[in-house]
Chains A and B, each alone.
Chain A
């Protein structure tokens, strides 16, 4: 099993990525332009996907990948 601190570190990393994604989303909404949509889609999308994946990865038990 991963110890508590490694899970906590993953949760923190996930949280930081998701906060960045949400900040990108909020910034993109302040601007009505096709580039704002791209910014939302590319930068926001990548950060959000990464944040959610890190969170979901932190839920996996440690043994599941070694089997």
Chain B
């Protein structure tokens, strides 16, 4: 399968060549064929390149590397390598419970209609705050983490539904599924990133 970036760079190259022809010999637009070429080169291809380019940028914004490229996210990136299974983000990342190359996006998108779109709008807000706003210290989520994002994968899974701890109290699982009791509650999966302690813990080294 051809990589979308390859298609995009091919389109950009083709558009540049056709536009260069028109810039060097603008008189060719006097003919009907020249007018069609101009419409293609100066309108259709640039709009197509912009649309495919925007889609490619949005796709790249899902990458773990993209999220961690801002300095403020550095400790969150380090927390993915903590050598402690009680660290929720690290356990998911290291055991490939989420795709490692899209780890942040997988857990922090909204699994609802237009959730991906909302996540991208939030991403634009992050970019605005990063460059033009005031960064909160420490940074925090705009809204409390919703169990729906965990349940997107875990609901129906045997380890989740039949897990001994999850079934100690018959009210627990219904409360979790109704988002009345957070998965991140104290005594449950309370350690997500714990960036305050990230410089005082042991790290896992990914094998080469």
Interface residues of A in 18-52 (CB under 8 A from B): 18-19, 21-23, 25-26, 28-29, 32-38, 40, 44-45, 48, 51-52
- Given A26-B9, A29-B8, is A8 in contact with B70 using a C-beta cutoff of 8 Å? no
Which single member of B43, B66, B69 contacts A52 (CB below 8 Å)? Answer: B43
What does the 1/0 interface line of B36-67 toward A look like (CB < 8 Å)? Answer: 00100111001101100110110011010110
What does the 1/0 interface line of B1-24 toward A look like (CB < 8 Å)? Answer: 000010011001001100110110
Stretch at the interface among B92-100, B125-133, B140-148, B185-193: B125-133
C-alpha gap A38/B169 in the complex (Å): 50
Task: Label chain A's interface by main secondary structure.
Answer: helix
Contacts of B8 in A (CB 8 A): 29
- Given A12-B26, A29-B53, A40-B57, is A34 in contact with B12 using a C-beta cutoff of 8 Å? no
Return the chain B residue nearest A35 by Cβ: B131
| Top-6 shortest CB links A-B | A8-B26, A15-B23, A55-B42, A15-B19, A33-B69, A34-B127
Return the chain A residue nearest B69 by Cβ: A33
Which single member of A8, A29, A38, A44 contacts B131 (CB below 8 Å)? Answer: A38
The answer to whether B31 has its CB under 8 Å from any CB of chain A is no
Which single member of A23, A29, A32 contacts B65 (CB below 8 Å)? Answer: A32
Return the chain B residue nearest A56 by Cβ: B43
B64 vs chain A, min Cβ distance (A): 10
B60 and A32 form a contact (CB under 8 A)? yes
A8 and B66 form a contact (CB under 8 A)? no
C-alpha gap A9/B26 in the complex (Å): 8
The answer to whether B27 has its CB under 8 Å from any CB of chain A is yes
B5 and A29 form a contact (CB under 8 A)? yes
